Structure 1
């Protein structure tokens, strides 16, 4: 796959496409790598070509972790640093071996002058903002059990850009990090949903058996 096949770069003018190809460096990272030390993200901008990268916050005092995003093919980061030029207090870890397209961050800032890039970039930023808003709302208004049900439903919803098909292959610990809880709590709730014949769990895959009853549990139906 060419870098120009990825969503942020589709439809760019031929001259700009040539500049993008010149600026692109492909970097590979293996599962478990903790990437982007020091000021790297103030100097480079990344687009995921393949694999998965987790973006998260960590409380160093108690070890509690909250996953904000799991970036996949076509996702971009760090958009906050790109726009404001300041370091972003988040951490990154590769959870599935990946290839990343690396660009000098000033080159991407110049791309913001091109309407075709902006047509894709700014709606993507809006989706990131909506995702974080929803995450904050869910943490405030829903119980862990309800957030888990909502996550399972969003995992099957193509309109949920940062949650669609996100659970496949994730460990229960990673699912817990998405919800801001711990593994044994997730396992307890999954067991209860399975005993109610609402889901089936096998080989790190969650199958919905009764979507209507799941929706009723969180008053979305």
Structure 2
């Protein structure tokens, strides 16, 4: 990334604060108090993010998407640790243990964020039980995601892992104009190119591209640049081989 992240000298409004899942259901008075401490930031794809900021401020994504990854300086190989979307927070690890976290934060799109001092965020967690009750389920959800990610790397092949990742990051096409009966079959995944999907899957770009081309030939999906259009959702769910109701598993009923 070749540009410095842009930090806007703006304060956040209560409306923006409520867009974050961990704040959404808090009493209005508490949100008004909290919003006084937030800074509104805006980053663009290609911006450089200094990971040292993670030891100073806690971030909440309001709009756009981010990739959190690590790299091996000797081989240059990278692995995706997390994909963050509107409502997600980072860095939870630094918040909890106050230790540096060597990660690469890559905006995949134009991103709007709220940020607050880490010390302030910890104070809120210790002081306000109603906030703690909102935060802990989100923390548990992220922990389960990491557990599932780790087990999937060991227990499942690339095809299964890739299908699960696509299902987890799927977004329904907003401009679908086909028949109502077929609406459920058309879904969209934006911003995930072959290289990104390879990092998320723990594979390499060539293997991912081969699998996507196979699904394209079978009519399961269509592939256009950084966009995947899912045409046969039921087939993709079958490839995911879900055998139990996991808390974060995206079960669809075509």
Q: 1:212 to 1:69 in 2, by over 3 A?
A: same
Give the secondary structure class of the aligned counterpart of 1:134: helix
Contact 1:11–1:116 (Cα < 8 Å) also in 2: no
Corresponding residue SS for 1:56: strand
The DSSP-based 3-state class of the residue aligned with 2:48 is coil
Indicate the structure whose relative CO is greater, using CA pairs within 8 Å and at least 6 residues apart. Answer: 1
1:33-82 per-residue CA deviation (whole Å, 9 max, x = no partner) reads: 231333x2111111111111211111111111111111111111111111
Corresponding pairs, count: 214
Change (3 A) 1:153 1:17: closer
Aligned CA distance change for structure 1 residues 37 and 205 (closer, same or farther; 3 Å): closer
Change (3 A) 1:14 1:206: closer
| Correspondence for 1:57 | 70
Q: TM-score, normalised by structure 2?
A: 0.76
RMSD: 2.3
State which drifts further: 66-75 or 16-25: 16-25
| Structure 2: 5+ residue stretches without partners | 1-14, 173-186, 244-254
Residues 66 and 107, structure 2, Cα contact 8 Å, conserved in 1: yes
Mapped contact 2:40–2:114 kept (Cα < 8 A) = yes
1:147 aligns with: 161
2:200 to 147, 154, 178: 178
User: By how many angstroms is 1:187 displaced?
Assistant: 0.8
Q: Which residue of 1 aligns with 2:212?
A: 190
Q: 5+ unaligned residues in a row in structure 1: which ranges?
A: 159-164
1:82-104 Cα distance to aligned partner (Å, 9 max, x none): 11111123221111111111101
